[in-house]
């Protein structure tokens, strides 16, 4: 598959530069998840290009299917200590701090950043 569009000289030059190619066999589907949907690629051809230890995945699919997903509501309940910390660091009200903590499922650093961004 990697030879598509590349001549032998180009392939040899890339290999001398440390670039390698590998085809993944028997891949049935690839899913790409977004916040509100999943993109399902059916019968894909997947090629891995390795450049200096970095892997680049190239995907060619016959067809795709978009799957809508409903957001799951979190059961997380922030502790009073976490709420106070977010209130203090972000300079927001108790309600705003609680909401930010719920939306980030308790990730204090993300909650502080979210609350500060909303404050502006």
31-82: per-residue pLDDT in tens? 999 888 899 999 999 999 999 889 999 999 988 899 887 766 557 889 999 9
Do the bridges between strand 29-33 and strand 19-24 make them parallel or antiparallel, or are there none, so unpaired? unpaired
Cβ 112 vs Cβ 89: under 8 Å = yes
pTM score? 0.50
64 and 23, same structural domain? yes
Q: Is residue 38 part of a domain?
A: yes
CA distance 63 to 42: 5
- CATH label of the domain that carries residue 36: 2.20.70.30
Tell me the residue range of the domain where 30 lies.
8-68
Nearest Cα neighbor of 82 from 99, 96, 101 is 101
Beta strands in the chain (DSSP E): 19-24, 29-33, 37-42, 45-51, 54-60, 63-68
């Amino acid at each position: 598959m990697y030879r598509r569009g590349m001549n032998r000289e180009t392939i040899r030059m890339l290999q001398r530069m440390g670039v390698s190619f590998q085809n993944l066999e028997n891949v049935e589907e690839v899913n790409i998840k977004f916040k509100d949907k999943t993109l399902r690629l059916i019968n894909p051809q997947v090629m891995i290009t390795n450049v200096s230890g970095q892997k680049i995945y190239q995907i060619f699919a016959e067809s795709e299917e978009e799957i809508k997903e409903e957001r799951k509501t979190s059961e997380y309940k922030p502790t009073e200590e976490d709420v106070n910390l977010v209130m203090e660091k972000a300079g927001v009200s108790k309600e705003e701090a609680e909401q930010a903590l719920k939306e980030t499922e308790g990730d204090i650093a993300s909650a502080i950043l979210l609350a500060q961004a909303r404050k502006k």
